[in-house]
Amino acid sequence: MRDLQNQSIPGTVWVGLDIVSTSGENTPPTQPVIAISPSQPMTNQNLVATIVTPSVDPDGDTVTYTYAWFKNGAPAGVSVNTVPAANTRALEVWLCRVTPSDGKINGPAGTASATIGYIGDVNRDFKVDRQDLLLLSFSWNRQAPDPLLHPLADLNLDGSCDAADLTLLWDETTHGPTP
Ligand SMILES: [Ca+2]
Ligand SMILES: [Ca+2]
């Protein structure tokens, strides 16, 4: 050990000294809890990753997040919180990984995933059939925020279940399953 003039300090001086490190004390932020909205997306809906429970940094540092999306397990090249509906196809599994950072070190990432469903698949069994039409009839002529309006029965996302949704369903089924 040396003093400020770079002279060696005799061991008798520093024996018993407490050495306090001023580096390496940083603690990473905690793992965030992530959700994808909507949780049961149709092919005409954007995917939005939301932070349900933010990361906490024990040192009080400001936490920033980086987003990485994966489609069927492969990097999708999306690094923001939203995936446009045009990028998604039915049956794809999309996962968002959100990594917190305090500017110096990353904390553990939080993830959420959602499977893309067909327009008109109200019961979410990845087929569009008469069972879905029956469920759609229960929501017929209902408007948000009516709790009996099934969110997957509002096919065109305009807040109600009516003839416009049937028209969209007709288009989807006559042109084949929703891509
Ligand atoms: Ca179905
Ligand atoms: Ca509608």
Q: pLDDT tens digits, residue range 133-158?
A: 999 999 999 999 999 999 999 999 99
139 and 65 within one domain: no
Q: Single out the residue in 69, 85, 115 at which a domain terminates.
A: 115
* Least confident segment among 61-70, 95-104, 168-177: 168-177
Full-model pTM: 0.80
158 and 98 within one domain: no
Query: Is 85 within the bounds of a domain?
Result: yes
- Distance, CA 43 to ligand 1 centroid (Å)? 14
Give yes or no for a contact between 129 and 54, defined as CB atoms under 8 angstroms apart: no
- Distance, CA 175 to ligand 2 centroid (Å)? 19
Query: Is 7 within the bounds of a domain?
Result: no
39 and 110 within one domain: yes
- Distance, CA 123 to ligand 1 centroid (Å)? 5
Query: Between 89 and 16, whose confidence is greater?
Result: 89
Q: What is the pLDDT, as a whole number, of residue 79?
A: 98
User: In this structure, which ligand is nearest to the CA of 153?
Assistant: 2
Res. 95 pLDDT band, cuts 50 70 90: very high
- Distance, CA 120 to ligand 2 centroid (Å)? 11
Query: Between 14 and 168, whose confidence is greater?
Result: 168
Q: What is the CATH number of the domain that holds 40?
A: 2.60.40.10
138 and 104 within one domain: no
Give yes or no for a contact between 46 and 82, defined as CB atoms under 8 angstroms apart: yes
Query: Is 160 within the bounds of a domain?
Result: yes
Q: How far apart are CA 3 and CA 10, in angstroms?
A: 10
pLDDT (tens digit, 9 = 90+) per residue, 20-36?
445 568 999 999 999 99
Give yes or no for a contact between 117 and 88, defined as CB atoms under 8 angstroms apart: no
Domain that holds residue 68: 33-115
69 and 40 within one domain: yes
